[in-house]
Structure 1
Amino acid sequence: MPNPKLSRLEFQIMEVFWAKGELSIREIQESLPAKKRAAYTTIQTTVYRLEAKGVLQRVRKVGNFHLFAAAISRESAQRTLIDDLLSLFGGRSQPVMAHLIESGKLSLDDVKDAERVLRDLAREKGKKS
């Protein structure tokens, strides 16, 4: 099953889970930056939406609150986000790569790592043929 799309706030909440593990809604809210912290009810609604999407799961009840945990990995969510971004460019990665290079966010070391991964993938593909 493909991962659902995540909003900015949803992704921000998921980052807290990936860093800290099981959390209550209050702990999530307190883990977000104080400057732009959403209201408790906003976090609560977002957590319930993430649960409905299958991205979060309730793991247990403690007293009168539930603890939640991530049901998907950071890598999986990032792949979905990147795939969505590439679909905006018709699946072409060149405009994204050009922007990363021009903005200085892609280094020569990053390119060398990418070349190594591409060579490894080609080698694996050759073994399967």
Structure 2
Amino acid sequence: MAERISDAEHAVMEVLWDESPLSAQDVGERIPAGRDWSANTVKTLLGRLLAKNIIGHQEEGRRYLYRPLVERGDYVAGESKKLMDRLFGGKLTPLVAHLAERDELTDSDIAEIEALLKALKS
């Protein structure tokens, strides 16, 4: 996926990743309540995502149904790589070291990382 998506567009994508295809109205009803977006805002965001070729749509009667063209896992992988490339020279170790130095890793996080490393080794 070449084009970045905004935080607002990401909120729409989360809805569509959870359930699709959906109409614009369905998407608007599933956006978290704190956003308080109008129907026009949701339609604008859907239009932007269509233009970026991140979602597709199909006609059903007088309305369109929207669906993601990019899988959530592929998006997360791409964004993770961009973050590591931009801030940590593409390396994972400095990222983990940074989190550890700032005491942002809980004992549970460390246990999960240790289990992951053990599984990767075997």
Query: What's the TM-score once normalised by structure 1's chain length?
Result: 0.77
Which residue does 1:103 correspond to in 2? 104
Residue of structure 1 aligned with 2:62, choices 61, 64, 70: 64
Residue of structure 2 aligned with 1:82, choices 80, 83, 93: 80
Gaps of 5+ in 2: none
Amino acid at match of 1:6: I
SS at match of 1:114: helix
Q: How far off is 1:55 after superposition?
A: 1.1
CA distance in 1, matches of 2:68, 2:104: 33
Query: What's the TM-score once normalised by structure 2's chain length?
Result: 0.81
Which residue does 1:125 correspond to in 2? none
Amino acid at match of 2:109: S
Provide runs of 4+ in structure 1 moved above 4 Å. Answer: none
User: Quick one: structure 1 residues 7 and 116, their matched pair in 2 at CA, closer, same or farther if it must change by over 3 Å?
Assistant: farther
Give the RMSD, CA atoms, in angstroms.
2.1
- The number of equivalent residue pairs is 118
SS at match of 1:54: coil
Matches within 5 A, 1:34-73: 34-58=33-57, 60-73=58-71
Gaps of 5+ in 1: 121-129
User: Quick one: structure 1 residues 71 and 117, their matched pair in 2 at CA, closer, same or farther if it must change by over 3 Å?
Assistant: farther
What per-residue deviation string (whole Å, max 9, x for no partner) do you get for residues 28-78 of structure 1?
1110112223222222111111112221011x3223210011111110010
Which residue does 1:93 correspond to in 2? 92
Give identity over the alignment, percent: 24
